[in-house]
Copies of this chain bind each other. A is one copy, B any other.
């Protein structure tokens, strides 16, 4: 693997992102495979008990970027990759809006699948973002899920 790879891009932003453009930016001469994860605002809260109309995401500026970079650096040690992009939105988002983009490119597909999955699992448990769900009646902070904590265990071996 050439030392100039992987190209890393991490951004916290209010604006939406364009999946095609971000995919295009992950093309490098050695790239054969790109795996993208896109997280969306669902129309229901976590336990599906009620509809939501919007959510607001806040984060800890500086620490968020640093934690995501730590995760990305770990993924680079584990897999040969050509590019990694993590974009996470903050602010007010509506149902079916895009929240997060994690794109990983590599020479061969399994590395891209694994690294993208790894980054998402750790982002879910380490990156300091908090969601508050809103509907007409009230707002409530989302609780962290035990299943997200457990998801990181598959990377321990």
Chain A positions within 8 Å of B, measured between CB atoms, are 18-21, 23, 27, 29-40, 42-44, 95-96, 107-110, 112-113, 116-117, 120, 147, 151
Nearest-CB residue, chain B, relative to A108: B147
Q: List 11 A-B contacts (CB under 8 A).
A: A27-B40, A27-B96, A29-B95, A30-B43, A30-B44, A32-B40, A33-B37, A34-B40, A35-B35, A35-B38, A39-B109
Compute how far the CA of A109 lies from the CA of B152 in the bound complex, rounded to whole angstroms: 13
**Most chain B CB neighbours (cut-off 10 Å) among A21, A31, A151:** A31
New A-B contacts (5) at CB < 8 Å, excluding given A20-B21, A35-B38, A37-B112 = A19-B20, A29-B43, A32-B39, A33-B39, A42-B107
CB-based contact B31/A40 at 8 Å: yes
CB-based contact B117/A113 at 8 Å: yes
Compute how far the CA of A112 lies from the CA of B66 in the bound complex, rounded to whole angstroms: 27
